[in-house]
Amino acid sequence: MEGRRRSARIQMLEKKAPPPPTDSSDPELEEGVDDGSRRKVYKRRRTDIAPTSKPKPKTKPKPKLPNDGSTASDSISPAAVSSGAGYYLAPTIDGNEKPPSLKVTETIRLFNKHYLHFVQEEDLRCKKLEADKATKNSKKNNAVGEDDAKRPSKRPDLKAVSKMMQNKEIINATKRFGAIPGIEVGHQFFSRCEMVVIGFHSHWLNGIDYIGQSKQREFSGYRMPLATAIVLSGQYEDDQDNYEEVVYTGQGGNDLLGNKRQIKDQVMQRGNLALKNCMEQSVPVRVVRGHRCPNSYVGKVYTYDGLYQVIKFWAEKGISGFTVFKFRLKRIEGQPPLTSNQVHFVRGRIPNSVSEIRGLVCDDISGGLEDIPIPATNLVDDEPIPPPGFTYTKTLIWPKDIAIPPTGSGCNCRGTCFDPNTCACAKLNGSDFPYAERDGGRLIEPRAVVFECGPNCKCGGTCVNRTSQRGLKYRLEVFRTPNKGWGVRSWDYIPSGAPICEYIGKLIKTDQIDPSSETNYVFDIDCLQTMKGLDGRERRLRDVSLPEYVDNGDEKALDAAPEFCIDGFSTGNISRFINHSCQPNLFVQCVLSNHHDIKLARVVLMAADNIPPLQELTYDYGYGIDSVLGPDGKIKRMPCYCGAPECRKRLY
């Protein structure tokens, strides 16, 4: 197949909106499946891309006030775009509002960015405090350190919520009854604060969310207050949960220290009165269940299980002898299947050993090279077969005809880097550290390029600025999909910003590829083109320090096509099996560690979202529609089978 696609990074950075989706039933689309033999086609030269005329800009219609209780301002504000989250934000479609599912995803990603920023801020404060105490440079330093130590530290997740409220980055700020657009039954939240920023449940602590008496004029047809959502998290000793029916204990009177015991009588007011009014006026309530999860920073993961009706309430003496209100809720029929009981089922499917895996066709595709075995399973084919033969490698295969760039000078930090004003590597990143020291290191936000510590740095291997160099740390599985060939999923929860793997294979020059040879697994190293804003890419230099040959402003001296690429067809690693999605949960990050040659940057796949177990890992291959030409010069088309809610229907 002629041509080679741009890397997934480009799709995330382009300013222009994607072309309108084409229906997958188009008779001109190629027959077949989006499998490993056809999916990774890359753009070799700009002449391989069909010319497109620029469409006339469309005038964005004035937003109309919806009749479902939301407001026309429920979209992400311009502040979200200018805050550095632009890598995450998808373009509007045909000048209209973004689909609700994209708005929800982007808002939660923005929350995670703010959260990790405040985590890093607190970590640096604590490290500086320890350093000041250790050096004892002056009484003034000691006094400052003591004051900082006594000052309570606000939780980073609550700081993130406050920041988003201040920037008006929260969506669905106006409370509404019923379902929230973009949140399907089964959606999982990693914290209560995530629910707050998307307007699903407006308080990070209270179990009952409700619309109060002050909104009576806006809801003249109802008697207020009315409940909108409840969270079942085991906080009350009298709760009973049978999934389809719930006996929910009203709010108030319990010990806030966390032992769940009632210490005084409950009162029929606020949330309790709101649930009572829901029963009398037949208003549905959103129900969320919390489950223990060590991977979540709050120790729980929350699952939305749909709408319930309050069918009965009563008062009784609770287990501790105090009056409590009980509310019986029954799940409304006709909704998607209940998921919380399936959460336990899904976790039960995660095997403890290779011998427990269903459909196992290979114990470890890495052949023992990875510290964590990577099994392969096939429950699709009638005669299960393992992935086709290839040689697994953990390191990039470097040919003799490509010179290895000189190693960077490195930093003089000891142990671990923590002062961005003195660390030489942090200065390359704009006097900033890209990673937060949480969950083994998480990238705060995508960047044009990340400068990591390298061989000549004085810091140790535990330095957070070496996060992407530590190899696989999650239990991954290669599995056969029904119509996309082989895919990859994780047995573990993966937090946003965590590195998954590096794209590994044979390093080659793009002008040395034989057009008639297999090029389906070739990945362009286009970091330089992205940073310079070439070929339609959005220029994003930020505050990084660029080598002189890049920052000389001589655009004409730069070839618009990437000079180097990575071929993972015959030799590669786990990355070669990761599929495309129009709404992916991974993104591509260029990283420089051993050297500072941007044309030979490392290509690392990182988590864009908090990813639950057994969810397929995907990234956007970044094709432009009608961008691939065949040998005859005609546009080639291929349907997309990613299954995303906002799928573009075509891979190219």
pLDDT band at 48, cuts 50/70/90? very low
**pLDDT over 70, % of the chain:** 73
> What are the E-state strand segments in 222-317?
226-232, 240-241, 245-249, 285-292, 300-317
Lowest mean pLDDT among 6-20, 144-158, 212-226, 454-468: 6-20
> Which residues, including other chains, have CB under 8 Å from residue 245's CB and lie 6 or more apart?
328, 329, 330, 331
Q: What sign does the CA torsion over 104, 105, 107, 112 have?
A: positive
Q: Is the dihedral of CA 503, 509, 514, 515 positive or negative?
A: positive
Rounded-to-integer distance, Cα 43 and Cα 351, Å: 40
φ, ψ of residue 300 to 5 degrees: the values are -140, 160
Least confident of 10-14, 180-184, 546-550, 598-602: 10-14
C-alpha span between 490 and 578 (Å, rounded): 11
pLDDT at 27 over 70: no
132-171 burial by CB neighbour count: b if 16+ within 10 A, else e? beeeeeeeebeeebeeeeeeeeebbbebbbebbeebebbb
pLDDT for residue 96: 59
Rounded to the nearest 5 percent, the helix, strand and coil shares of the chain are 20, 20, 60
The percent of residues in the chain predicted with pLDDT above 90, rounded, is 51
Residue 562 to residues 101, 401, 535, 598, Cα–Cα distance (Å): 34, 17, 11, 11
Q: Which of 62-71, 505-514, 583-592 has the lowest mean pLDDT?
A: 62-71
- pLDDT tens digit sequence for 218-233: 998 999 999 999 999 7
Give 596-651 as a DSSP string: --GGG-EEEEEESS-B-TTPBPEE---PPTT--B-TTSPBP--B-----TT--SB-
pLDDT at 550: 52
Q: Out of 229-233, 238-242, 414-418, 436-440, which region has the weakest mean confidence (pLDDT)? A: 238-242
Residue 590: which residues within 8 A CB-CB, separation 6 or more?
A: 9, 448, 449, 450, 525, 527, 530, 598, 601, 602, 603, 604
The CA distance from 446 to 435, in Å, is 10
Quick check: 449 and 430 in contact, CB under 8 A? no
Residue 547 makes CB contacts below 8 A (sequence gap 6+) with 596, 597, 598
Q: Specify the residue for token string 């427990």.
A: 356
Each residue of 362-402: pLDDT tens digit?
999 999 999 999 999 999 998 889 998 899 999 999 999 99
CA distances (Å), origin 33, targets 38, 64, 485, 579, 615: 8, 41, 7, 12, 20
Instruction: Give the confidence band of 637 by pLDDT, cuts at 50, 70, 90.
Output: confident
- Could you identify the residue written with the tokens 């590994």? 504
Mean pLDDT taken over the chain? 79
First to last CA, the chain: 12
The b/e string for 365-374 (b: 16+ C-beta within 10 A; e otherwise) is: bbeeebeebb
pTM value is 0.81
568 and 521 Cβ atoms separated by less than 8 Å: yes
Across 537-548, average pLDDT:
51
Instruction: State how far the Cα of 528 lies from the Cα of 510, in Å rounded to an integer.
Output: 14
Q: How confident is the model at residue 171 (pLDDT cuts 50, 70, 90)?
A: very high
What number of helices (H) and strands (E) belong to the chain? 10, 25
pLDDT at position 256 = 62
| The predicted structure's pLDDT at residue 489 | 96
For 462, the 3-state DSSP assignment is coil
Task: Evaluate if residue 14 carries a pLDDT over 70.
Answer: no
User: Using 50, 70 and 90 to split pLDDT, how confident is the model at 252?
Assistant: confident
The stretch 500-506 carries a mean pLDDT of 97
Q: What is the pLDDT of residues 593-628, one digit of tens each?
A: 999 999 999 999 999 999 988 999 999 887 777 877
Range 192-214 average pLDDT? 95
Nearest residue to 523 via CA among 451, 471, 600, 626:
600
Mean local confidence (pLDDT), 440-460: 95
Positive or negative, the Cα torsion across 209, 213, 218, 221?
positive
pLDDT tens for residues 112-139?
Answer: 999 999 999 998 888 888 877 777 655 5
CA–CA gap between residue 50 and residue 10 (Å, rounded): 17
Contact 13, 542 (CB under 8 A): no
Highest mean pLDDT among 6-20, 99-113, 259-273: 99-113
| Other CB atoms within 10 Å distance of the CB of residue 276 | 19
Residue 12 has a pLDDT of 38
Tokens matching residue 104: 């929800």
What does DSSP assign to residue 534? -
Q: How confident is the model at residue 642 (pLDDT cuts 50, 70, 90)?
A: very high
Distance CA 342, CA 330 (A): 18
CB neighbour class for 99 (10 Å; exposed up to 12, middle 13-18, buried from 19): middle
Going 369 to 373 to 374 to 376, the CA torsion angle's sign is: positive
How far apart CA 198 and CA 170 sit, in angstroms, is 6
| Banded pLDDT at 259 (limits 50, 70, 90) | low
Give the Cα separation of 315 and 638 in Å (integer). Answer: 62
566: part of which helix (H) or strand (E)? strand 564-567
Which of 42-46, 192-196, 355-359 has the least mean pLDDT? 42-46
pLDDT per position as a tens digit, 298-321 = 788 899 999 999 999 999 988 888
The 3-state secondary structure of 157-172, one letter per residue = HHHHHHHHHHCCCCCC
Q: What is the mean pLDDT of residues 508-526?
A: 79
Quickly state the pLDDT bin for 296 (edges 50, 70, 90): confident
Q: How far is CA 250 from CA 124, 232, 270, 329, in A?
A: 41, 11, 10, 12
Q: Answer yes or no: are the C-beta atoms of 567 and 522 closer than 8 Å.
A: yes
d(CA 626, CA 9): 19
3-state secondary structure 338-360: CCHHHHHHHHHHCCCCHHHCCCE
Tokens of 326: 């009980």
Residue 325 pLDDT exceeds 90: yes
